[in-house]
Structure 1
């Protein structure tokens, strides 16, 4: 988005979450008008309450909401049940995949050509109870989802590829984020040093939310 001067208003789904808050701030700091679409609001900022599992709500949210805004130039899709175990498996898969489909389809219907969304390193086989084919892991490693959450992320990538095949003018970028950390989380790092096995499940990887936000912007 930082290379496209035509993009001025960005909708961020899940803008109240850990990564979402950082993305909203990053975009705001770089001159974008930001619309936060979520089911719950952040402590101090306005947001628009949207159930993304409802296509009608999603389409309206990516088009116009009364006098609050009219027209969206780009979408950052972060809203999701955030990881394995946060909800029953069927609910995690159903809500996450349905939300992603609705966002992708509504963006296409609304003529939005720029979509960035949160994929996940988990689709490569995390937690790594079964050893990967090689390390360090990279994008060439075959997908090996071991949870309904990871399987949903693989479905997101498959859907995005097909949307772009249907409409080559779409630019859809999935970022396979690692475990997102914010400043308060670093207080736990000494315990990871004392017992490295606590983080072996993802080969000790993480991403600072601020770095993730910069990746989204660029």
Structure 2
């Protein structure tokens, strides 16, 4: 494990869980937050992750970075701002870290990069299970910003040799806030989960995956999907796919198996979700 980690977006749902986990493992942290806020980090700075001087200050003493700072979805801000803020923040954080010789970085990419969750015209899956080779069908600025983030990670690795892991996170929540209502919605109307293939991840597992990605088994630039192994819908996956993704090439999925290839994250990070929401 690294000795000191910079966590950007540290006041958010996932960032808070990451700080809690790193504290439990005895790793010191610096938190970068947009607005002044209390955190569990040893040092907290407030400001915009697009500011190179601020990021350079936040990186003092850090030997790893977990970058989470971003506008989390389109629709609440102008399209140009969603793309510009997200992509510029990722470039600034990775560039400043690489220039200072920080060897490992993790960025929060998104399942939404595939294009379907925020699609602005009808789309269909090219095939299942979803994996990192799936052709992207981007029609929104948030997914585009994540594609730019992953390209930035690739550039940083090529230029500096930094190991960067981009985790394509699904819908993330905790049993007490977001997962319960979403599971109830999928039970009543499973079509609401079709674009996300009913995938999710408990926030504690999201934190575990991000921390595990600081020490991948093989250095390099990696793009990985993580999710709970079973869907958040009570219906069998085969029934869901027959109804909402008919004709999409796929193997058979037993029970409620999530139709996402989770093997690369298991092989590279040793990660498998431990917290499944009780569905049905």
Question: Structure 2 length normalisation: TM-score?
Answer: 0.70
**In the alignment, is residue 191 of structure 1 matched against residue 194 of structure 2?**
no
**Corresponding residue number in structure 1 for 2:171:** 179
- CA contact 2:19–2:40 (8 Å) conserved in 1: no
Q: 3-state DSSP class of the match of 2:76?
A: coil
Q: Which aligned pairs between 1:48-59 and structure 2 lie closer than 5 A?
A: 48-59=45-56
Q: 3-state DSSP class of the match of 2:105?
A: strand
1:65-106 deviation digits (Å, cap 9, x = unpaired): xxxxxx111100000001121311100001001100100111
Decide which of 156, 159, 163 is 1:166's aligned counterpart.
Answer: 159
- Equivalents in 2 of 1:51, 1:20: separation in Å? 15
1:148-198 deviation digits (Å, cap 9, x = unpaired): 010010011111111111122x11110010111123113302222111112
- Equivalents in 2 of 1:216, 1:166: separation in Å? 23
Q: Which aligned pairs between 1:37-186 and structure 2 lie closer than 5 A?
A: 37-42=32-37, 45=40, 47-63=44-60, 71-127=61-117, 129-168=122-161, 170-183=162-175, 184-186=177-179
- Equivalents in 1 of 2:109, 2:5: separation in Å? 19
Give ranges in structure 1 of 5+ residues lacking alignment: 64-70
Q: Which aligned pairs between 1:199-210 and structure 2 lie closer than 5 A?
A: 199-210=193-204
After TM superposition, where is structure 1 displaced by more than 3 Å over at least 4 residues in a row?
41-46
Query: How many residues are paired up?
Result: 205
- Equivalents in 2 of 1:60, 1:52: separation in Å? 11
Give ranges in structure 2 of 5+ residues lacking alignment: 213-280
**In the alignment, is residue 30 of structure 1 matched against residue 13 of structure 2?**
no
- CA contact 2:6–2:59 (8 Å) conserved in 1: yes
Deviates more, 1:154-163 or 1:182-191: 182-191
Question: Structure 1 length normalisation: TM-score?
Answer: 0.88
- CA contact 2:16–2:39 (8 Å) conserved in 1: no
Please give the root-mean-square deviation of Cα atoms over the aligned residues, in Å: 1.6
**Corresponding residue number in structure 1 for 2:4:** 9
- Equivalents in 2 of 1:209, 1:143: separation in Å? 26
Q: 3-state DSSP class of the match of 2:130?
A: coil
Q: 3-state DSSP class of the match of 1:175?
A: strand
- CA contact 2:23–2:40 (8 Å) conserved in 1: no
Q: 3-state DSSP class of the match of 2:207?
A: helix
Change in Cα spacing, 1:29 to 1:163, as seen in structure 2 (3 Å) is same
Q: 3-state DSSP class of the match of 1:97?
A: helix
- Equivalents in 1 of 2:207, 2:56: separation in Å? 24
